[in-house]
Structures are given as structure tokens and as C-alpha cells.
Structure 1
């Protein structure tokens, strides 16, 4: 669904002139219309995530109304929570994570690994505070995969991902999805959940799977009720 510059400004609690500046100078995807612009909600979610701009719950709720997206808890249950993931550098860690993916037979794990490494070469996917979300501009789409998955990986060793804050990565998320819109939705939702005190605390404490999923469900319910983070 397309929304106006005024609606974007209201959602993100900023000025319309700021939104126009984002469109012209910060590459916020937009379509010219009637001497102004309109923005696709999913494009806004992705752009805001990449620029670490917190989005309000109503933007997720509105996006959910367009398509039936999985909740964060549902995607985590599908992808699994993995502990003590071994590796001594970015290559070995990503290789191990890819090896744990439930890939269809037609997907080559080595090719997928190289795609992830190529994305890292363009710029780190570490977002700070010891967390990385390896992903590619063209998301990992698995044909025939019935549900999106978010893998949560607690690394055995801190790994240098070249994060801007200088902190090594200890927690790594990886997404797979049956379609692009679901990928973008979940990527944005993870970034938003990391601002949620309960979910972030569960990660920091390396809580057990039940506690992490409970925190994710609480976050999802807060999104539904418009009360997060």
C-alpha cells in the first residue's frame, strides 16, 4: 500500500520536509505523484531498518493488514534457537550457520554462503552491541518453503564483523523467506524488537528458548496492541 509524504512524516514523528530530504538525498524509495511523492509501506520498513530509524507499531499493523505475515515468535520457532555456534572468524561462523539451515535439495549451501560473504564485502551487517543480521539485498528466497524462518544464533566465540561501534558479534540472526515482502517485514521487525526491553534482555542474558520465545510473543502482542517498545 502506498502512503503519502505527510503520512510518513506523521508515522515517524518528523517533518514532511525531512521525509522529502530522505527521498532526495538518503535514497528512501518513493514514486512521484501530483507534484509530491508516495511511499510503499514495505519499502519504508526496509529503509527505516537500514537507517536505524525506529518505526511505530501501527506501521507493522498496517503492513500485516496487507498480507498475512508471521509474527516474530512464529518465525523464531520455525528457524530455531542455536547455541554455542562454533567459528573463529566471519567465514567459519557463516559456514556453520548455513549448514544448520533447513534448505531444500535444490539450494546449494556453498552458493548461499558466497552470497552472504559477498554482501559482507559491501559493508558489515553488524548493527552494533554485538549483534549482526546477515542478509542480502535480494533476500534468501526458498522455493517451496511454506513459512518464513528466523534463525537465532548465539556464537561460541565473539567474532569481528567490522561493526561501527567496534564490538565483536556474539548474536547473529539469519532470515529465510518464501517471498520478498515477508523478508522485508521480518527484517524490520527484528530491528524493532531489538529496541524492546524484554526481548533485548532475554538475548543479553542468553535465556533459554522458552524465555526468548515468551519475550518474542510479548513483543508481538505489544505490536498488536500498539504498545511497543
Structure 2
């Protein structure tokens, strides 16, 4: 799961000095190991998404070809598309979103909310242009969840999430997954889809569950080509 600065530079087609500058000045998460920077793939993807940097989807493909991972459309169908989710601030919005999730009986919703708020305290999950992708920092917390899902919520009114571009959040994707691999897969698929003009246009039109699932299916079809 860890990459060095030169590997990240090759994959993103940047100079290694640019990666080091991002670490030192742009808060790209990294740790020093024997004098060399090591970057976690989850941290890289989250940071790149927040800074509108496109990453190649194949970078985050599963290592084992025999494991079936959900498509974006399948994950959205599992989580559902919800319109006019109420809330006056980040806390109340996240609480209402958690209540919409299909959690296993043993999962305490209040504990999940606490973990989500802790993640927000580390750094906003808003990725700009009115979109946020809140998720638990350690997906293993949801290891008893039967299937991975992306719950899409259109908020009743825009909420300040501390986004880098200053725009309040009006669309929220909540990721829930049983393993780090599945979490990384879903996050990469979603991050890449948000750079797709047709998918973004569908999101911006209205809260249209059928249209959004169809747009996600088209995106996956084009990606396979």
C-alpha cells in the first residue's frame, strides 16, 4: 500500500521534485522511512481528489484478477440515491445520512457518526464544486457489512464543509465498504467519475436516481473500452 515519491511521480507523470513539493507545501500525506518519503495509496487518492488532480484508474485496480469488485452503478444501487436530505450543519447532515445507511445490526450509528466526524476533523472530505465524500478512515470498521455501497445524498440546503474552493456542499457521497481494497476501489472509481463531464452534468441537473444510475453505468462501460 506504500509508494515512494519516484513511483508516484511516474504514475502521475510529474517530476519527483513536484511530489516532494506537494508533500512539504500542499500537505500531501507522507511518512519518512530511512530518509525517503512513503505515501499511502488511499491518502494519495484522497489528496488528489481534493486537489482536482486526475489519477489513472488502473493504478488502483485490485491485485487479484479473480476477485469481483462492484461497479460504480452497483455500489450506487446498493446505497441508494436520496433527495432533499435535511440538516442545518455538518453534524446534523451527517447524522441524517448515517440514518439512511443500511448498516448491520451490530453497528452503532452514533459510533459511526463519531468516526466520520473524527475524519472531518483531520481534513475536510469536500472535494470542491459543492461535493463531499465522507467516509470512515479505516474501512475495516464496516467489515461485517454484507456489501459495499455508495449512498448518494442531495442535501435540502447547501452546508459548509470547509471546502478548499469555499463552496458549500450540496451533493454528498457516503462510502461504506468491508475492506481497504474495496474502499480504495470505490473511491478511485468515484473520483474518476467526477472528472467525467457527462456524469457531472447528470449530477448537476437534479436528484434523478434513475438518470444517475444510468450515467454511472455508461461511465463504467466507457471506462472498460
Common fold by TM > 0.5 = yes
Gaps of 5+ in 1: none
SS at match of 1:98: helix
Q: Alpha carbons of 1:74 and 1:157: their partners in 2 closer, same or farther (altered >3 Å)? A: same
SS at match of 1:152: strand
- Residue pair 1:176, 1:183 contacting (<8 A) in 2 also: yes
Q: Alpha carbons of 1:74 and 1:31: their partners in 2 closer, same or farther (altered >3 Å)? A: farther
Q: Map 1:79-228 onto structure 2 (within 5 A).
A: 79-139=79-139, 141-225=141-225
C-alpha distance after superposition, 1:19-68 (max 9, x if no partner):
46657874346977xx9888776665455335542112432456674853
C-alpha distance after superposition, 1:114-139 (max 9, x if no partner):
22122223332211111111123223
- Residue pair 1:46, 1:184 contacting (<8 A) in 2 also: no
Gaps of 5+ in 2: none
Q: How far apart in 1 are the matches of 2:65 and 2:42? A: 12
- Residue pair 2:83, 2:207 contacting (<8 A) in 1 also: no
- Residue pair 1:72, 1:220 contacting (<8 A) in 2 also: yes
SS at match of 1:174: strand
C-alpha distance after superposition, 1:156-212 (max 9, x if no partner):
111122222221111011011011111122122212211100110111012521211
Q: How far apart in 2 are the matches of 1:149 and 1:73? A: 10
Q: How far apart in 2 are the matches of 1:3 and 1:117? A: 28
1:55 matched to 2:55? yes
Residue 12 of structure 1: how far off its partner (Å): 1.5
Q: How far apart in 2 are the matches of 1:121 and 1:8? A: 26
Q: Alpha carbons of 1:99 and 1:12: their partners in 2 closer, same or farther (altered >3 Å)? A: same
Q: How far apart in 1 are the matches of 2:158 and 2:221? A: 32
- Residue pair 2:75, 2:148 contacting (<8 A) in 1 also: yes
RMSD value over aligned CA atoms? 3.0
C-alpha distance after superposition, 1:81-112 (max 9, x if no partner):
00111111111111110111111111101111
SS at match of 2:74: helix
Q: Alpha carbons of 1:29 and 1:177: their partners in 2 closer, same or farther (altered >3 Å)? A: farther
| Segment drifting more, 93-102 vs 22-31 | 22-31
Match of 1:76 in 2: 76
The alignment of Structure 1 onto Structure 2 pairs a total of residues equal to 223
